[in-house]
Amino acid sequence: MERADRASTRLRAASGAGGGGDDGDDLESLRKAVEYFATVKERTPSNGNLHMEAIEGIAFEKGLLPDAIEALLDVAMSGRLVDRFNTRLLKCLIPASVVPESAVTKAISWMCTRKPTIHIQVLFMRWLLTVFDLLNSKKELHSLYGIIFFYLQNDKLCPYMCRLLYLLTKKDNVKRFRVKKLIDLQSKMGIQTHLVALILLYKIHAPEYVSLVPLGKPKNFQVSGSLWKKAIDRIQNNGYRHLAEAPSLVNLTEPPVRKRKRKMHRELIPVVSSAPHVTQLSRSQMQNKTFPLEQLTTFSQLLQNFDWIEFPAQMGSVLRSPLLLHYINWVKDDSALLRLDLWLAQTLQEEFADCNGESMQKEEEFTEFLNIIIRAQECLQEGFSCCEDFVFKSLTLWDSSWCSSQILALLTRIPPSSDVIYLYFDPLKKLFFTSSVYFKCNVIESLTNLLVKWLTWHSVCVAEMDKEIPNVLQSPQNVTLSGLVNSISELVEFCARISIVALQMEAYNSLLLHFILNFYETVHIGLQVNRKMFQQYNAFVKAAVSCLWTSRSFAHDIHPMGIGIEYNLLAQTRVPDSKSSFTIVNHPALMGHAINFIQQGWPNEKKRLHAIQGKVWNWYVEYLYNQGLDGLKLFLEFSIHTSSSSQH
């Protein structure tokens, strides 16, 4: 009753400030409706439908203030009304600004009395998870961690409670008895994604308590909140949210007209803001040493208030602030990253699950959202696990015609694993061969960037081994050194296979060849090779030298300079004079230069190409160098020096 009186008083004061127009009438009808449900004693009130329609009309159009939400939630969870009215009350709890934490803690206390039915409890949990980031505080909710954990025993509530615990869990909450309980539940229910996710979170906070985890990676929580989410996004993005900050103004007042042009796309990412209990209570702020996020605008402020910064209520808003991303990178708060990853997974699933490039506006929103994620990953130097799932699903349906640069950029953050070829590269191969040469170049470039990141991890791992640190690479997947090397080898082999076919398909396109060579330049520069690989490389160099210089490409002797091939096989090729057909004079790629050299040097004589030998050979080499063949010059000077010193 006390809560209902406060809500009624505030609404009565607001209706007086709203004037005598439609807003005042709406406020008065809302006040009467809240007061009616708070005081009615019948389980099926006779005038319930009339007042319910008034609440629903206002809630879905302009949202409800915190006091109204608190009063109506208390009515719905008390079990005084039949479930038909309780369900409708819960469905119309659309906040215009924030959700008071006291309303949630009171609702959980009603659950302990078993007065609300299980259907109402499940509906309440779905609503709570939807508005979790809108809570004005979570301190009291954290104090109920043990009670929330108790409800894991209920089969219907378990998925929702797991997700709530996932959002609330801190290192202090991880206890040995809770780990044992989760493992017992898992053995009873089998592998459940919500239990696996919570166990993995516990393992991050306290690895000494969790020795084994289920194989595989848990999928995202499948908890639908679309019942309220679309209405909340529409109301809060339309400008009603800020009006609730002043006690004398209610959500029913029209938002002020903005002079700037309205954006075409929706604001999917929340604005960075501290919880209201931080921004409004300056005295409490001084006591708790909490720095308001709205005032964080410079890097020097971040350094000065480093220990007083508190993550925002809506975790997705950190994507708007490079300073907060730097803060996450420094403090290494795994729970913050997990909350952000969960928010991204929800948004990708609920907002863009049906995005296929047919709607131009939808594609623009999608592209902008993916660009923000990519910039965040670059800042954090770490990928989000939800993006791995998104890329995996996209590659099976993607036609490479929309958001190609964004999806390929996300691909460069895929971590090394034993099944990375099967999950990501095989679906990509089908697109690669059926797309244009420019898309092929983009794919090779993305594979090069992915290789650079994996080689960076490899160098870090080797450096840690030199310092006698355990042979485990500190990545989100804890990849071993051998596993990382295997992944790099598979990536190089995959790129080799698709490159050979692509060059044949595109008639050895120069642009494609440039990107492929850039990939392989990265492999010799970045990878620490062994003796066997050097020997194989030197064999290739000798074979190239024998082709271009010594005319012993396919000779058999005790000191082979080329590639040994039987004479009968050479005869089957029907290449005339196969021994000298690939020298710098007769090679198909250089024969034109040789003919021009003869014509320019002896214009009145009929010299043939075999005349290029001895001193003329040296003149011809200088001629080739003057034609701008710098790569050939570098290769020959280096290789011939090596060859001459080996007495061959």
Per DSSP, the residues of 32-87 read: HHHHHHHH---SS-TTHHHHHHHHHHHHHHH-B-HHHHHHHHHHHHHT-S-HHHHH
Q: Helix 48-62 to helix 22-39 angle, to the nearest 10 degrees?
A: 130
Give the residue from 578, 566, 544 showing the smallest Cα distance to 586.
578
Residue 528 has a pLDDT of 58
Which of 102-106, 393-397, 526-530, 623-627 has the least mean pLDDT? 526-530
pLDDT digit string, tens, across residues 436-449: 999 999 999 999 99
Instruction: Tell me the torsion sign for CA atoms 360, 361, 366, 367.
Output: positive
| pTM of the full structure | 0.62
Token digits of residue 52: 């319910």
Confidence of residue 6 (pLDDT cuts 50, 70, 90): low
Q: What is the mean pLDDT of the chain?
A: 78
Structure tokens at 600: 């320019």
Does pLDDT of 177 surpass 70? yes
| pLDDT higher than threshold 50 for residue 241 | no
Span 37-51, average pLDDT: 80
Mean local confidence (pLDDT), 379-402: 83
Residue 558 confidence (pLDDT): 47
The structure tokens listed for 551 are 């005319």
Which pLDDT does position 446 carry in this prediction? Answer: 94
568-586 confidence digits (pLDDT tens) = 766 666 666 666 777 888 7
| pLDDT tens per residue across span 100-157 | 999 999 999 999 998 999 999 999 999 999 888 888 888 899 999 999 999 999 999 9
More confident residue, 69 or 554: 69
pLDDT at residue 258, as a whole number? 40
Confidence of residue 161 (pLDDT cuts 50, 70, 90): very high
